[in-house]
Amino acid sequence: MIRAVIFDVGGVLIRPPSAEEWREWETQLGLETPEEIRDFQQAFFRGEGKRLDRDLLSFARQLQERYRLALLSNATDQLERVLEHKHGIAGPFDLVVNSARVGLAKPDPAIYELTLERLGVAPHEAIFVDDKVRNVIGATRVGIHGIHHVSFERTVAQIKALLGDRPPEMVVDVAIPQDYAGMLAISRTVASDDWWGPVQMLAQPETTTDIAVLCDDPENLLLVARAGGQVAGMGLLMQPTPASLHHTAELSIAVHPDYRRRGVARRLIGVLLQTGARRGIELIRAWVASANGAARALIEGLGFQEMARMKDELQRPDGRRFDVIVYNKEVTDG
């Protein structure tokens, strides 16, 4: 049950500056006198009022009747003054956690834990909204429901889904080239987790492969499933060399333990099959541990046919080897 909603400030409640504003400020960065600096600061903060997301602020005011609200921002020691006196938006919020005052900054886990402590809620009872992927990932690492803010409509829909105790919308993104920056941020925090080991294992059995490397390789198709801003699963189609074999691809799926049995793997495989067919792939091969009954049932239910069984074929990160069943599926575009 959700008891608190935590918002970032810059980039969420206050939109980032426009390109024109940035160009105007660039021309003023050569300021030297105290008077010039003061005038620049005043102009900067005047512009913030135009960028205030009043729709999101109104939505937050609706939430305050039932939930505790907080602001969590990497900011200067002027944040509280600006929020209260310039924007008048501190009212709906029970708590403001400012990095400049607590000596911590996102995505350090400690600043999220401090916020939870001051709100008096557990991690699973809180939602955190931020426009930066790395900060959302930082929150989810301590157990908070994270939402990556892209638009007012999408953020509100995801908050409402979580507040209604319904599974949040599953969003599957193609990692290259549209979301490479986001994937790079994900790679720095997710790569150490064991749950996505099958993706690494298929890509390069003898070494550790960073997600960013997979993402940037045009012969791979790497997808990420996100639920409420958190990485719920990953899927990979890897086309082998030489080029004469590019009509085939190897399939690998990994789902975070918190999101298993919720259709994440099925959704990822569906998108990979469609996208692979459009790339000219005609045959997809899946290697499944023979002991993984749930994965075998899923693969077989999607029309994959068993082709071979191999003993001690693959090796886990801990060194143990295991038996696999190789499945094939012919795919067509459409």
Q: CB–CB of 2/67 below 8 Å? A: yes
Q: CB–CB of 257/264 below 8 Å? A: no
Which residues have CB under 8 Å from 47's CB, separation 6+? 17, 21
Which residue has tokens 């082709």?
307
Look at residue 22 in the predicted model and tell me its pLDDT.
Answer: 45
- Global confidence as pTM: 0.51
Q: CB–CB of 223/130 below 8 Å? A: no
Residue type at position 26 = E
Secondary structure of the chain in the HEC alphabet? CCCEEEECCECCCECCCCHHHHHHHHCCCCCCCHHHHHHHHHHHHHHHHHHECHHHHHHHHHHCCCCEEEEEECCCCCHHHHHHHHHCCCCCCCEEEEHHHHCCCCCCHHHHHHHHHHHCCCHHHEEEEECCHHHHHHHHHCCCEEEECCCHHHHHHHHHHHHCCCCCCEEEEECCCCCHHHHHHHHHHHCCCCCCHHHHHHHCCCCCCCHHHHHHCCCEEEEEEEECCEEEEEEEEECCCCHHHCCEEEEEEEECHHHCCCCHHHHHHHHHHHHHHHCCCCEEEEEEECCCHHHHHHHHHCCCEEEEEEEEEEECCCCCEEEEEEEEEECCCC
**In whole angstroms, how far apart are CA 90 and each of 6, 44, 93, 249, 331?**
13, 20, 6, 54, 55
Q: CB–CB of 225/267 below 8 Å? A: yes
Which domains, from first to last, does the chain contain?
A: 4-163 (3.40.50.1000), 170-330 (3.40.630.30)
Look at residue 45 in the predicted model and tell me its pLDDT.
Answer: 45
**In whole angstroms, how far apart are CA 185 and each of 107, 181, 182, 237, 266?**
11, 6, 5, 21, 25
Peptide bond into 218 cis (omega under 30): no
Look at residue 47 in the predicted model and tell me its pLDDT.
Answer: 45
Q: Show pLDDT as tens, one digit a residue, over the chain (334 residues).
A: 899 999 999 889 887 655 555 455 455 555 565 665 555 445 544 444 446 888 898 899 889 888 999 999 998 887 777 776 555 665 678 889 999 999 999 999 999 999 999 999 999 999 999 998 889 989 988 989 989 898 888 889 889 888 875 555 666 666 554 566 666 666 666 666 667 766 665 555 444 555 666 666 667 788 888 776 677 888 888 876 555 556 888 888 888 877 777 788 888 898 888 888 888 888 999 988 888 888 888 899 899 999 999 888 666 666 777 788 999 999 876 5
Alpha-carbon distance of 238 to 221, in angstroms, equals 7
Which residue has tokens 């795919």?
331
Look at residue 40 in the predicted model and tell me its pLDDT.
Answer: 47
